[in-house]
Amino acid sequence: MFTIDDLADRLGGYLPSEEIQQVRRAFYYAEQAHDGQTRRSGEPYVTHPLAVANILANMHMDHQSLMAAMLHDVIEDTGVTRDAVATQFGEAVAGLVDGVSKLTQITFEDKAVAQAENFQKMVMAMSQDIRVIIVKLADRLHNMRTLGALRPDKKRRIARETLEIYARIAGRLGINTIRVELEDLSFQAIHPMRAERIKRAVARARGNRRSTMRQIQDSLQRRLDEDDLIGSVVGRQKHLLSIYRKMRDQRKPFAEIMDVFGFRIITDSVDNSYRILGAVHNLYKPVPGRFKDYIAIPKANGYQSLHTTLFGPSGMPVEVQIRTREMEAMANNGIAAHWLYKAGQTERPIAVGSHARAREWVRGLLEMQRHAGDSLEFIEHVKNDLFPDDVYIFTPKGDIMELPQGATAVDFAYSVHTDIGNSCIACRIDRHLAPLSTPLESGQTLEIITAPGARPNLAWLNFVITAKARSAIRHALKNQQRSEAVQLGRRLLNRALAGFDTSLETLPEGRLTMLLAEIDLNSEDDLLAGIGLGTRLAHATARRLVDTEPREEENERAEFRRLAESNGPIVINGSESMAISFARCCYPLPGDPVIGHLSIGKGIVVHRHDCGNLEELRDDPDKLVSLTWSNQIEQDFPVPLRIEIETRRGLIAELASLVTDADANIERIGIEERDVRLSIVNLTILVKGRIHLARIIKRLRNLNHIGRIVRARH
Ligand code: MN
């Protein structure tokens, strides 16, 4: 059995003895705290934290992470408090243990909204100290290795969560040794039969291929030696899940996937990496279009390497990766390589860049969380972010920008500069005009066309995917709302002034300034914004501007009545962002009969004419305004639906795809279970209007086992 002495021996290879002593102390503390507890296998509980620490030792993590690994379950599973850990082992270790405990309490159930909140908690815990997630990944890895005799359904649940969340985070942080093992263990737990079949096929194929592998490896190595190039050639194996994914996604037969021979060449310097590339291209012809230079342009998780594919003996494809020892350490350990150092070395020269990148990633997540409209939006972003396939775009000057997959020209514009984003009106992709919403692809050259005075468009929020663009657009729109309120205020005030045969432009000099001083406002815009928002009355303001004699203020209601009657119904087109808003009690849609309510501070609030809340408001008829819908409405409107449906797997996915197929978006989705059989789904979707909604409801009714569908009002 693996003991603390074995671990201490291993640590002797890279940690000073005082630090090893502290790790031992943490072990004994944990051993005592978990005394009497056992794992499912019957072993003493402390074997688990010891094994987690050992995983971290293999990655050469620092002593504080190892101590936290030893102690990671004591707060959660024994009576020990965070303070006690802090007193014994210091604040840093206590913080790590606390962070890991918080992560442990989070479970990611089926893909639902709850997941999003958990993600947020997770990001919070990580942002304190990125080592928290590294310890957590090691913990999860050991638990996956020892899934053992759990019930199959429970196994599958844990494996799915591991695959969806933890393996992806490991990948995003570049910790590939852990990612690969998590993926294979999860795959084996979810599809035991398929995994077994692939495993056996791989073993068989390996036997057949051995001599060919040897032959290619020898000729590569010989060529390096002849050219006096430092480098060692090793064979590469694909892991189970990657083979399975290739078979499933690319519909390739097993034989074809195994028909590729993979090698890695590790060398000492960047210069030699490129020299070796030249040498192997000289030995075997390269396959055109397959060369990738991740040394010049590292992947988002910090991965660096040269990739090329060659025509090997008798035309067999040979894939070669070439990189330095440091890049190899990064490729295996990613962010964890930051703590990697050799005994006697005080500097930790490796992967400082990767650490900065990881921090930047977590900071980006936090930013996103602050700006995301709701939890679903946030999780959508994080998921996007966990797919590490970024795209690389060239500026017209040839600079390279890195953007997440799915990014559009607007994302690009904002990543260059906020002002460019705010004023962009069109773009050219590879010199051709293209819509701003087109998702970008690696290698494209993108030119942004701007116009002075242009403003961001609300609709951009539907397709931008980077946090920076999203928050910048929101910010700009907010400013825009004020200027719209000012414009509306100007219109209302001029209309009122027209009743006195004057206008803002023709008022006697100084009249406005005098009024501003009287009512203690700083600027004309403040006054107009107040009118636009309904906090100040246009008619009363107009009267004060024309009458030098102070007179009793006219009744507010009379003014509202005049507004409502004299001008006929006000036409709403949905783009008035602030002066007109839509009630969140009855969610009016274009096509619904509606009525406006003048509400102090909010301007006109649009309700459905039969909204229950209007009953009270009807006591105040002067504040009601008749409204009609414009027939040119661009905006989408939220509408909540309450759907009764028979509980079954994949329910949400089915509803979601039906709604998206009908050109509507989902704003939020939640499930209340009524009983085992029946669920109530609360679904808020974005639609163009009544007719659009009717079409969607009709489609929903065609689903199997659907019960009542009600357009909810609160
Ligand atoms: Mn644990």
What does the pLDDT look like over 453-465, one tens digit per residue? 888 887 888 889 8
For the residues 423-429, what does the mean pLDDT come to?
91
Highest mean pLDDT among 260-269, 383-392, 499-508: 260-269
**DSSP classification of residue 536:** S
Task: Report d(CA 402, CA 194) in Å as an integer.
Answer: 37
Residues 671, 674, 677, 678, CA torsion sign: negative
For the residues 597-610, what does the mean pLDDT come to?
78
CA atoms within 13 A on the CB side of 144: 30
pLDDT at residue number 348: 43
Where is average pLDDT lowest: 16-25, 360-369, 609-618? 360-369
Task: Report d(CA 623, CA 611) in Å as an integer.
Answer: 15
Higher pLDDT, 333 or 119: 333
Task: Report d(CA 87, CA 94) in Å as an integer.
Answer: 9
Task: Report d(CA 678, CA 651) in Å as an integer.
Answer: 11
Task: Report d(CA 655, CA 541) in Å as an integer.
Answer: 52
Task: Report d(CA 245, CA 272) in Å as an integer.
Answer: 34
Task: Report d(CA 582, CA 564) in Å as an integer.
Answer: 18
Higher pLDDT, 397 or 8: 8
CA torsion, ordered 379, 385, 389, 391, to nearest 10 deg: 110
Burial class (CB in 10 A: 0-12, 13-18, 19+), 680: middle
Please give the share of the chain, as a percent, with pLDDT higher than 90: 26
Ordered by start, the domain boundaries in the chain are: 4-105, 475-629, 637-711
First and final CA of the chain: distance in angstroms?
63
- CATH 3.40.50.12780 is right for the domain spanning 637-711: no
| In this structure, CATH architecture of domain 4-105 | Orthogonal Bundle (1.10)
pLDDT at residue number 18: 93
Instruction: Using DSSP bridges, classify how beta strands 317-324 and 261-267 pair: parallel, antiparallel or unpaired.
Output: parallel
Give me ligand 1 centre to Cα 712, in Å: 44
Nearest alpha carbon to residue 694 among 608, 589, 581: 589
523 close to 489: Cβ distance less than 8 angstroms: no
Higher pLDDT, 350 or 15: 15
pLDDT at residue number 369: 56
Q: Does residue 222 register a pLDDT over 50?
A: yes
Q: DSSP 3-state helix, strand, coil percentages of the chain (rounded to 5)?
A: 50, 15, 30
Residue 40 confidence class, pLDDT cut points 50, 70, 90: confident
Instruction: Write the pLDDT tens digit of every residue in 540-557.
Output: 888 888 875 444 444 444
pLDDT at residue number 148: 82
Highest mean pLDDT among 265-269, 332-336, 635-639, 659-663: 265-269
Nearest alpha carbon to residue 60 among 335, 355, 341: 341
Give me ligand 1 centre to Cα 138, in Å: 9
Residue 35 confidence class, pLDDT cut points 50, 70, 90: very high
DSSP states along 17-64: HHHHHHHHHHHHHHHHHTTT-B-TTSSBTTHHHHHHHHHHHHTT--HH
pLDDT at residue number 662: 84
Q: Does residue 103 register a pLDDT over 80?
A: no
pLDDT at residue number 448: 93
Task: Report d(CA 415, CA 402) in Å as an integer.
Answer: 9
Q: Does residue 200 register a pLDDT over 80?
A: yes
Where is average pLDDT lowest: 21-30, 170-179, 218-227, 610-619? 610-619
Q: Does residue 107 register a pLDDT over 80?
A: no
Q: Which residues surround ligand 1, an ion (CB under 5 A)?
A: 73, 139
Q: Does residue 593 register a pLDDT over 70?
A: yes
pTM of the model: 0.52
Please give the share of the chain, as a percent, with pLDDT higher than 70: 81
392 close to 685: Cβ distance less than 8 angstroms: no
DSSP states along 537-550: -HHHHHHHHH-SS-
Give me ligand 1 centre to Cα 141, in Å: 10
Give me ligand 1 centre to Cα 95, in Å: 16
Task: Report d(CA 316, CA 485) in Å as an integer.
Answer: 69
Task: Report d(CA 482, CA 529) in Å as an integer.
Answer: 7
Two tokens, residue 478:
């907010």
Give me ligand 1 centre to Cα 142, in Å: 8
Q: Does residue 577 register a pLDDT over 50?
A: no
Phi, psi of 335 (to 5 degrees): -55, -30
pLDDT at residue number 19: 94
Give me ligand 1 centre to Cα 139, in Å: 5
Mean pLDDT, the chain, whole residue set: 81
For the residues 376-404, what does the mean pLDDT come to?
64
pLDDT at residue number 315: 80
Highest mean pLDDT among 119-133, 495-509, 596-610: 495-509
Highest mean pLDDT among 232-241, 299-308, 592-601: 232-241
Give me ligand 1 centre to Cα 628, in Å: 61
Task: Report d(CA 159, CA 147) in Å as an integer.
Answer: 9
Residue 116 confidence class, pLDDT cut points 50, 70, 90: low
Phi, psi of 673 (to 5 degrees): -90, 130
Instruction: Write the pLDDT tens digit of every residue in 315-329.
Output: 888 999 999 988 888
Give me ligand 1 centre to Cα 393, in Å: 42
CA torsion, ordered 109, 115, 120, 125, to nearest 10 deg: 10
pLDDT at residue number 256: 78
The C-alpha angle 610, 611, 612, rounded to 5 degrees, equals 110
Give me ligand 1 centre to Cα 162, in Å: 14
Catalytic residues: 76-77
pLDDT at residue number 351: 42
Where is average pLDDT lowest: 39-48, 106-115, 185-194, 356-365? 106-115
Residue 639 confidence class, pLDDT cut points 50, 70, 90: very high
Tell me the CA distances in angstroms from 55 to 44, 137, 296, one per residue in order.
18, 10, 31
Instruction: Using DSSP bridges, classify how beta strands 232-236 and 424-429 pair: parallel, antiparallel or unpaired.
Output: unpaired
pLDDT at residue number 267: 94
Give me ligand 1 centre to Cα 23, in Å: 17
Give me ligand 1 centre to Cα 436, in Å: 47
Highest mean pLDDT among 202-211, 230-239, 394-403: 230-239
